[in-house]
Structures are given as structure tokens and as C-alpha cells.
Chain A
Amino acid sequence: MAAGAPIPVIRIEDLTRVYQMGEVEVRALDGISLSITPGEFVAVMGPSGSGKSTFMNIVGCLDRPTAGRYFLDGVDVSSLNRDERAEIRNGKIGFVFQSFNLLARTSALENVELPLIYSSNGHSSRERVEKALRCLDAVGLAGREGHLPSQLSGGQQQRVAIARALINEPKLMLADEPTGNLDTKTSEEVMAVFQKLNEEGKTVVLITHEQDIAEFARRVVVFRDGKVVEDRPVTNQRRASFAASEAGHA
């Protein structure tokens, strides 16, 4: 790596993931190579079965590749064990899921501070609360820290999930169909948050199968049959209106 050039957040070399389904071998990822630099906003697209979920699991350190190498923030994480991967997930990756995956009967604040509990550098409960409040503020949910997920709208729940993903200041925000359970207006709200975070310098990888959601990103990677078939910049990035976002929690 030449001096001055930024270390890619994600560098994937010839990544392969094979599932053994009984007698049949399924090549979910078939030798893909990819590099994502800091500050990028990448939408990963593809039909179901294209390998994008497998890609997301490996990039998110939930799964390990069968072959190939994966460098996250310059560190080879392709052969880490369970506990080491848990540490990477905790410190370097912020997950946002389609179904929000907030803990029920647990306040927004407690949901947001959850990753800090498992963090290897200890935080006092006051530090945790302060950080969590700051993250809730960043997604426009100041004042909602005491609400339970059931008391929040879908868009608000997803923003709580984004705040949770932010709390450990991850190198990579990994969003798996974050708008899949939301209507168009709320989707735009959530995308506005991602765009804002990206403009503040966060690297965001977004997995979606919706073309119009992908247009909020700045680069689109398309998967098909376990291979990258298209990798292009978005020429005309859609701007998610913050007005929609403000209206969402007004």
C-alpha cells in the first residue's frame, strides 16, 4: 500500500463460499474480488440467490469464507475464530437489519448501549448512557431514549438500530435491506440518515434489491450467481429529503 493512499475498509481477494447441501455443493460466492475505500457508500444489489446475503455474512464477520482472503481495515479476518470475530463485529462493524432486531421490552437507550456491554474496553454506565444519548441524537431521536420499540414507528425503530450500529464508532456500517420492512416515505427517512452519516465520513455498505433505494448510494455492485457482474458509480445520486426525516419524528 503506497503511503498516503487510504487503507481500504474492505479488501476481498478471490473470495469463495461453498455450502454443502447434502450431496450438492452450492457455490454461493464464486471467487469475487472487491475493494471499498473509506467514505464510500456502496449498494450491493442482486436477485435472491445471487450471493449477496452470503457476502454480507462474510463481510460482517458472521461467517467465514471457504477460500480467499478478506481484509477488514487492513487486517486479515478470513481465518479468525468465533470469539475473535465477535470482537471484530463489536468494534469495527455496525449492523442494521431488515427487521430492526431491537430487543423487545427494552428501552431505546438500552438497545443503543448494548454493543458497549460486550466491548472489550470497559465503559462505566454513565459513559454508556452519554454515548447512547449522543447516537440517538445523531439519528434525530433525541428525547425518545425511554421509549420501548413497541412505542416507536418502524422508521424510528430502524433509526434506533442505526444509533446502536454507530455507538462503537465502527469502520463499516453494514445495512441488510434496511428499508425492506418500511414504506416509501419512511424508507426515504432512513436513507436520509445513512446519507448524512456517509457525508460525515462513515463507510456504508447497503444490501438491497430495490433499484430506487440503491440510487441513494454512490456506487452500485451487482451480484449474480455468486459473481460480481456489475460495479459502477451512481452518476446521479438521489438525495433523500431531510424534510421527510424531520416529519417522521416531529
Chain B
Amino acid sequence: MLKFLTILKVGMKAIARNKMRSTLTALGIIIGVACVIAMIAVGGGAQAAVQAQINSLGSNFLMIFPGVATQSGARIFTGQSTITEDDVAAVKSECPSVAYVSPSVRSAGQIVGGTGNWGTSVQGVGVEWPFVRSWNVEKGAFFGDSEVRSGAKVAILGSTVANALFPDGNAVDQMIRIKNIPFKVVGVLETKGGSTMGQDQDDTIIAPYTTVMKLLKRTVKIDMFMASAVSRDAVGEAQTEIEALLRQRHRIQPGQDSDFMIRSQQEIAQTADQTSRQMSALLAAIASISLLVGGIGIMNIMLVSVTERTREIGIRMAIGAKGRDILTQFLIEALALSIAGGAIGIALGVGTSRFLAWKQRWPIVLSPTAILLAFGFSAAIGIFFGFYPAQKASRLDPIEALRYE
């Protein structure tokens, strides 16, 4: 043990004596590890960002659009929405995998109130909308069944609208005018941020769909409806159930195309997620190659070093170093270089990731697993690529080695 510690010290001294050579050797590992960590951080960040956007919509979220009836290959525009409020109610009561539903009617208009004037979209929705979208009211309260039944002139503001019209923050209980019709603000939504498409989701006003249909849009048909499945795993089932129910209700014959479309958030999400996953796998693969090249660099320099230090090895053997002492020393040198390189690489990789997050505003995720893995891998590379040169050194013949010029 004492001998091992001493040989450890000998190895460290050998590294310290050849600073230039040691730095160059470690550089390959430093760059490799730093690359792996930075790339995994960036890739993981991109993935997390996509995931966050998906979650902001609710991952068990379904949208049912009225569609065009396709008959015998010809698309026929009926010009009328094929989805009714009764359809929505039926889905809610008859599909066991569906948790919440909300009709949706979209309108837009100029809003006047508070400090100014703001043009935005107005969404008419049902009482279950906060659950469907997993989007809660931050101040005030959401409207209830009675407001929907009576078509009450109440509105919930998205945070962007609330900030624009009521910068001092007391929007609740104020009056606003939407297309010149007075509405009472009953609540403000929590901030949701941008959507997958990059739109500001908070730039909106929510009102009971009955009110929007009657007063703002002057229609009797809903545009579409949203539903949420009971769980993330039940999205597929919910989709099937809704499809079957609506086909039955709309009397669509088997083989005929549906007159509606169901879009799940998961479909969109999966595509985006897959893309970012492939991207980070690619980044990690490139980074791993640089780590491998770094390892070969270690082997290369260690081999040169064994040749260069043949005489030193001969001297050590002549005064009593055994083969395994030499092997240990060279392995320790390779291992120390790769571990030191790994440690510096981690610092550099974390630093680079932080810098990118700060300067480029890239989302990054520093995973401790990736860091540990990169570190462990660099140590393994040290042993793997250091072993051959070390073994070569340990098998030298002391007489030959002493004669080496």
C-alpha cells in the first residue's frame, strides 16, 4: 500500500515534470468531456423546452374540429359546422375515458377598458375549460353554469391583456367593453407563456361560449370543442370513443369518412419530442467521437512517452522496479491525466452550457447523470488506452532499455 502510494507520487511527479506534454495529452479528454456535457445540456434543454410547451397545453388534451364530409373521394364543403352543443354533452356523458369537455367559439375584437384599448381574440368556452386546458385562474374566479346558461356578460382576462389594460393589477371587478358591449371582469388567468407555435397564449379573453355566440359572433353553432382524457395514457382510448360516438350520432356509414377531425396534443408533441430527441442523440454521438479521439490521443502520447522514456524505465528496472511497478506507474499517469482532463472538461462543459444559457438564452439542462457518465467514461478511457503503452513499458528488457539512446 505504501509502495502504491509512493508509485502514485512518482507518477504525479512525472506528469508535473512534463507540463507541456501532460497538458497536450489531457487536452483531448478536456475537449471531449466538455463537448459531451455541453451538447447533452443543450440537447436536454431543447427537449425539456418542447416538453414544457406540450405540458402547458395539457398532455391529455384533444381538439375536435368540425370537418368536411368526404364522399366518394370528393370533398364537399357543407359550409356549416357539423358539431353541436349536444355532441359535446354526449361526449361528456358517454365516453368513459373523457374527463372534461368544453365547447369553443372564437371571436376577436377591440377591447376598451382600464387604461386603454387592446385588440385581441375572445374565446367562448364552457365551465370545464380550466380543467381541459389545465389553466387556472390566478385572481378572481372562473364563471359557472348559471353564467353559461344565462349568457352572462362576464370575462376572464389573459395575463397579457390584464397587464395591458390594468397595469396596476386590479383588473377583477372592473368593466371592459368588447365590441362596445360591456363585460365585467371576473378573473385573470395565470401566465402560460408561448405556445408550441410561438404565439403568446396569454393574449386572449375568455367568456362563456353562449355569450360569445349570442352577442359577439351572432351564431348558433360552436366552432369546435376540446376534451381532456382521464389520463395521459387514456388519450388514444378517448379519441376512439369520441370518434365512435360522433360517427354514430352523425349517422356516418362504415367506410365513409368522418365529418369531423380529432387532433390530440400528443400527436403534435410526439413529433416535436422525437425531433428534439434525435437532435440530442446526434449531438451526443458527435461529442462521444471527440471523447474517443481524445482517448486515442492519450494512447498516442503515452506510446511516444514510453519510447522517449525507455532509458528511464531501464534505470528504474535496474535498481529494482518490477514489471508491475512500471505498469502501475504508467497506468497511474494515464489515469491521472484522463481524470484531471475529465474534471477540467466538466468545469469547461458546465461553464460553456451556462454561458450559452446566459448569452444565447438557450434552454439547457445539466444532468448530473451525464456529468458522472462523462467523467467515468474519461477515466475508463485512461485505463483502456493507457494499458497498452503501460504494458509495453513493463515488458522492456532492462539491459536493452539501459542501452537505449
Give A residues with C-beta under 8 Å from B: 57, 60, 62-63, 82-83, 86-87, 89-91, 95, 97, 101-106, 110, 114-115, 117-119, 122-125, 164, 168
- In the complex the two chains form, is A101's CB within 8 Å of B6's CB? no
Q: Confirm or deny: B124 has a beta carbon within 8 angstroms of a beta carbon on chain A.
A: no
Q: Confirm or deny: B76 has a beta carbon within 8 angstroms of a beta carbon on chain A.
A: no
Q: Confirm or deny: B10 has a beta carbon within 8 angstroms of a beta carbon on chain A.
A: yes
- In the complex the two chains form, is B399's CB within 8 Å of A62's CB? yes
Segment with Cβ contacts to A, from B111-119, B191-199, B316-324: B316-324
On chain B, the residues within 8 Å of A123 by CB distance are 2
Assess A118 versus B312: contact at CB under 8 Å? Given A87-B320, A89-B320, A105-B17.
Answer: no
A124 to B2 CA separation, bound complex (whole angstroms) = 8
- In the complex the two chains form, is B320's CB within 8 Å of A118's CB? yes
On chain A, the residues within 8 Å of B315 by CB distance are 101-103, 114
On chain B, the residues within 8 Å of A125 by CB distance are 6
Contacting residue for A118 out of B17, B314, B316, B399, CB 8 A: B316
Q: Confirm or deny: B7 has a beta carbon within 8 angstroms of a beta carbon on chain A.
A: yes
Closest chain B residue to A174, Cβ basis: B318
- In the complex the two chains form, is A89's CB within 8 Å of B3's CB? no
Q: Confirm or deny: B311 has a beta carbon within 8 angstroms of a beta carbon on chain A.
A: yes
A162 to B295 CA separation, bound complex (whole angstroms) = 41
| A133 CB, min distance to chain B CBs, angstroms | 18
| B255 CB, min distance to chain A CBs, angstroms | 85
On chain A, the residues within 8 Å of B312 by CB distance are 103-104
A46 to B236 CA separation, bound complex (whole angstroms) = 96
Assess A97 versus B320: contact at CB under 8 Å? Given A106-B17, A117-B10.
Answer: no
On chain A, the residues within 8 Å of B311 by CB distance are 101
Assess A118 versus B319: contact at CB under 8 Å? Given A101-B311, A124-B2.
Answer: yes
A165 to B325 CA separation, bound complex (whole angstroms) = 19
| B333 CB, min distance to chain A CBs, angstroms | 15
Max chain A CB contacts within 10 Å: which of B311, B322, B325, B399? B322
Contacting residue for B3 out of A97, A110, A117, A164, CB 8 A: A117
Give B residues with C-beta under 8 Å from A: 2-3, 6-7, 10, 13, 17, 311-312, 314-325, 398-399, 402
- 11 A-B residue pairs with CB within 8 Å: A82-B322, A86-B320, A86-B323, A90-B321, A97-B318, A103-B315, A105-B17, A110-B13, A115-B319, A118-B322, A164-B319
A86 to B396 CA separation, bound complex (whole angstroms) = 13
- In the complex the two chains form, is B318's CB within 8 Å of A95's CB? yes
| B10 CB, min distance to chain A CBs, angstroms | 6
A75 to B402 CA separation, bound complex (whole angstroms) = 26
Contacting residue for A83 out of B6, B7, B322, CB 8 A: B322
- Apart from A57-B399, A82-B322, A89-B320, what 8 extra A-B contacts exist at CB < 8 Å? A62-B318, A102-B315, A103-B315, A104-B312, A114-B315, A114-B319, A117-B3, A118-B325
| Those 8 A-B pairs whose CB atoms lie nearest each other, nearest first | A90-B320, A122-B2, A118-B320, A115-B319, A86-B322, A118-B321, A105-B17, A101-B315
Closest chain B residue to A115, Cβ basis: B319
| B396 CB, min distance to chain A CBs, angstroms | 11
A110 to B315 CA separation, bound complex (whole angstroms) = 14
A86 to B322 CA separation, bound complex (whole angstroms) = 6
- In the complex the two chains form, is B316's CB within 8 Å of A114's CB? yes
A97 to B17 CA separation, bound complex (whole angstroms) = 24
Contacting residue for B6 out of A95, A104, A117, A164, CB 8 A: A117
A86 to B320 CA separation, bound complex (whole angstroms) = 4
A104 to B2 CA separation, bound complex (whole angstroms) = 25
A106 to B109 CA separation, bound complex (whole angstroms) = 84
On chain B, the residues within 8 Å of A89 by CB distance are 318-320
Assess A86 versus B321: contact at CB under 8 Å? Given A57-B399, A62-B398, A62-B399.
Answer: yes
Closest chain B residue to A54, Cβ basis: B399
A103 to B314 CA separation, bound complex (whole angstroms) = 11
Closest chain A residue to B321, Cβ basis: A118
Closest chain A residue to B325, Cβ basis: A118
On chain B, the residues within 8 Å of A101 by CB distance are 311, 314-315, 318, 402
On chain A, the residues within 8 Å of B402 by CB distance are 62, 97, 101
- In the complex the two chains form, is A95's CB within 8 Å of B319's CB? yes
Max chain A CB contacts within 10 Å: which of B312, B317, B320, B321? B320
- In the complex the two chains form, is A83's CB within 8 Å of B323's CB? yes
A60 to B320 CA separation, bound complex (whole angstroms) = 11
A118 to B323 CA separation, bound complex (whole angstroms) = 11
Max chain B CB contacts within 10 Å: which of A87, A103, A168? A103
A159 to B207 CA separation, bound complex (whole angstroms) = 99
A81 to B155 CA separation, bound complex (whole angstroms) = 94
A124 to B325 CA separation, bound complex (whole angstroms) = 18
| A28 CB, min distance to chain B CBs, angstroms | 12
Closest chain A residue to B395, Cβ basis: A82
| B184 CB, min distance to chain A CBs, angstroms | 85
On chain B, the residues within 8 Å of A118 by CB distance are 3, 316, 319-322, 325
A117 to B320 CA separation, bound complex (whole angstroms) = 9
- In the complex the two chains form, is A122's CB within 8 Å of B319's CB? no
Closest chain A residue to B314, Cβ basis: A101
- In the complex the two chains form, is A122's CB within 8 Å of B3's CB? yes
| B13 CB, min distance to chain A CBs, angstroms | 8
| B349 CB, min distance to chain A CBs, angstroms | 33
On chain A, the residues within 8 Å of B3 by CB distance are 117-118, 122
Max chain B CB contacts within 10 Å: which of A60, A118, A119? A118
Closest chain B residue to A164, Cβ basis: B319
On chain B, the residues within 8 Å of A60 by CB distance are 318
On chain A, the residues within 8 Å of B322 by CB distance are 82-83, 86-87, 118
A117 to B315 CA separation, bound complex (whole angstroms) = 13
On chain A, the residues within 8 Å of B7 by CB distance are 117
Assess A86 versus B317: contact at CB under 8 Å? Given A97-B402, A117-B6, A118-B322.
Answer: yes
